[in-house]
């Protein structure tokens, strides 16, 4: 097993993936392509000032939890079903001069015995089988972080599996990933309702091959799940091509988005912050150009600038390089893109 370094941690694990997709290591899983996800997790954890005990529920080498201990000062426990993984976590804790509790059992079982203030679920593929146990295993106001790499299912490529797994219609095209996030949230909201609780999304995003949500467990709320049609309108009932039922409220709390970061992470947080208060859904800049019957599509930032000058909410989005989030009508979007042509 090779030794690696990420953030302030040194640790042993088997490398998996080729810096991109999830891949599957024989042995103890470590995917360097998820480094940004862990960087972001550390930054966000600092912002939230989490107190109490955190569970790295599907820990593999323990790198996520170890970084949260070293870089955000959290109190993290670890769980994995693989004995090789839990033995390696023990070694990795020693390598970093820290001590903690490690459980070698299914996380669903652990969460029936013990509750946590913060739980992280980072599985291979879909998180669906873990959601109920994770929501039930949270203390009131606890925070749940969940990764999903079943993006094909959540983002329109496998609609029948999405319906079976998440109980919702996915969507293709530019808004697919944002809709995927909203579908995950709708599933979590419904499950939380069943145990007399609610959820409040704190920070949700897509990056590379994965989707990720952080939600707070709240008192039961009256949030209604709705649909988003192909014109990005929120509709109360299912209609042809619409995604849903899904979470149509906010998915990013602007004031919780970390600031003062530089480089790739800084740019990412900046975009998240810009789009936080926008409406659900995205418009494809090439579709706006086609409808406006103009030749080449202007740069996205120029279209955003013109939409803002026309008095509308407008932002780019981390969910798609071609997506624009805006409150502008079709006529106004057409007007803006024509103005952007001459910039
Ligand atoms: C994708 S890896 C986790 C990656 C890790 N969080 C990281 O940041 O590198 C998933 C891990 O979950 C473990 N696992 C699978 N099913 C589990 C279960 N029911 N309970 C606990 N761990 C489980 C696997 O052994 C594997 O180590």
Distance 93 CA to ligand 1 centre (A): 17
Cis-peptide into 121, omega within 30 deg: no
Ligand 1 atom with the smallest distance to the CA of 107 is: 20
pLDDT score, position 24? 54
Question: How many whole angstroms from 38 Cα to the centroid of ligand 1?
Answer: 15
Q: Which residues contact 113 (CB under 8 A, 6 or more apart)?
A: none
Instruction: Determine the distance separating the centroid of ligand 1 and the alpha carbon of 323, expressed in angstroms.
Output: 33
pLDDT of amino acid 16: 78
Q: How far apart are CA 213 and CA 218, in angstroms?
A: 15
pLDDT number for residue 95 = 98
- Tell which residue, 1, 59, 55, 6, has the closest CA to residue 26: 1
Instruction: Report the chain's terminal Cα–Cα distance, integer Å.
Output: 55
How many CB atoms lie under 10 A from the CB of residue 68? 26
Nearest atom of ligand 1 to the alpha carbon of 130: 19
* CATH entry 3.40.430.10 includes domain 282-341: no
Phi/psi for 201 (5° steps) reads: -65, 135
**Closest to 325 measured CA to CA, from 313, 334, 337, 335:** 313
What residues does ligand 1 touch, defined as CB less than 6 Å away?
29-30, 34, 58-61, 63-64, 79-82, 85, 106-108, 122-124
Which atom of ligand 1 has the smallest separation from the CA of 57?
21
- Probe target for ligand 1 pocket from 14, 21, 59, 103, with the most ligand atoms within 8 Å of CB: 59
Q: How far is CA 332 from CA 174, 243, 308, 310, in A?
A: 19, 24, 11, 8
Enumerate residue ranges in the chain where pLDDT < 50: 19-22
- Answer whether CATH 3.40.30.10 is correct for domain 2-261+265-275: no
Distance CA 1, CA 287 (A): 49
Ligand 1 atom closest to residue 79's alpha carbon, by position in its atom list:
21
Q: What is the pTM of this model?
A: 0.96
Q: Which of 9, 25, 29, 61 to mutate to test the pocket of ligand 1 (most atoms within 8 A of CB)?
A: 29
Spatial separation of the C-alpha atoms in residues 239 and 166, rounded to whole Å: 18
Q: Is 94 exposed, middle or buried (0-12, 13-18, 19+ CB in 10 A)?
A: exposed
| 59 Cα: distance to centroid of ligand 1 (angstroms) | 5
Cα 63 from Cα 307, distance rounded (Å): 43
Q: How far is CA 136 from CA 173, 187, 195, 197, in A?
A: 34, 14, 8, 10
User: Hey, where are the domains in the chain?
Assistant: 2-261+265-275, 282-341
pLDDT at 15: 79
Alpha helices by DSSP H, listed for the chain, are 35-48, 63-72, 83-95, 107-113, 128-136, 151-154, 159-166, 176-194, 263-275, 285-292, 300-309, 330-341
- What are the tens digits of pLDDT across the range 169-199? 999 999 999 999 999 999 999 999 999 999 9
Index of the ligand 1 atom closest to the CA of residue 61: 9
Cβ–Cβ contacts within 10 Å for residue 331, how many? 9
DSSP 149-185: --HHHHTTS-HHHHHHHHSSB---STTHHHHHHHHHH
Give the model's pLDDT for residue 20. Answer: 44
């Amino acid at each position: 097993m090779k030794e690696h370094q990420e953030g302030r941690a040194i640790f042993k694990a088997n490398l998996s993936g080729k810096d991109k997709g999830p891949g599957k290591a024989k042995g103890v899983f470590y995917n360097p392509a998820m480094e940004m996800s862990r960087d972001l997790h550390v930054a966000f954890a600092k912002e939230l000032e989490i107190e109490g005990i955190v569970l790295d529920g599907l820990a593999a080498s323990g790198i996520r939890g170890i970084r949260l201990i070293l870089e955000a000062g959290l109190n993290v426990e670890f769980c994995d079903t693989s004995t090789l993984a839990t033995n390696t976590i023990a070694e990795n804790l020693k390598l970093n001069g820290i001590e903690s509790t490690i459980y070698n059992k299914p996380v669903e079982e652990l969460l029936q015995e013990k509750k946590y203030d913060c739980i992280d679920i980072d599985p291979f593929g879909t998180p669906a089988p873990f959601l109920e146990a994770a929501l039930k295993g949270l203390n009131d106001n606890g925070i749940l972080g969940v990764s999903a790499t079943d993006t094909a299912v959540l983002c329109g490529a496998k609609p029948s599996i999405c319906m079976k797994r998440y109980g919702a219609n996915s969507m293709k095209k530019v808004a697919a990933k944002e809709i995927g996030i909203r579908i995950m949230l709708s599933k979590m909201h419904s499950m939380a309702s069943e145990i007399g609780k609610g959820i409040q999304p704190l920070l949700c995003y897509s990056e590379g091959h994965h989707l990720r949500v952080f939600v707070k467990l709240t008192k039961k709320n009256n949030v209604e799940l709705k649909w988003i049609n192909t014109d990005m309108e929120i509709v109360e009932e299912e209609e042809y091509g619409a995604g849903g039922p899904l979470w149509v409220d906010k998915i990013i709390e602007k004031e919780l988005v970390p600031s003062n970061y530089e480089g790739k992470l800084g740019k990412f947080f900046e975009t998240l912050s810009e789009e936080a208060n926008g409406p659900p859904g995205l418009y494809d800049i090439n579709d706006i150009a086609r409808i406006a019957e103009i030749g080449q599509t202007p740069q996205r930032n120029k279209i955003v600038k013109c939409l803002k000058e026309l008095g509308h909410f407008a932002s780019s989005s981390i969910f798609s390089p071609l997506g624009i989030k805006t409150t502008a009508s079709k006529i106004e979007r057409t007007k803006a893109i024509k103005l952007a042509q001459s910039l």
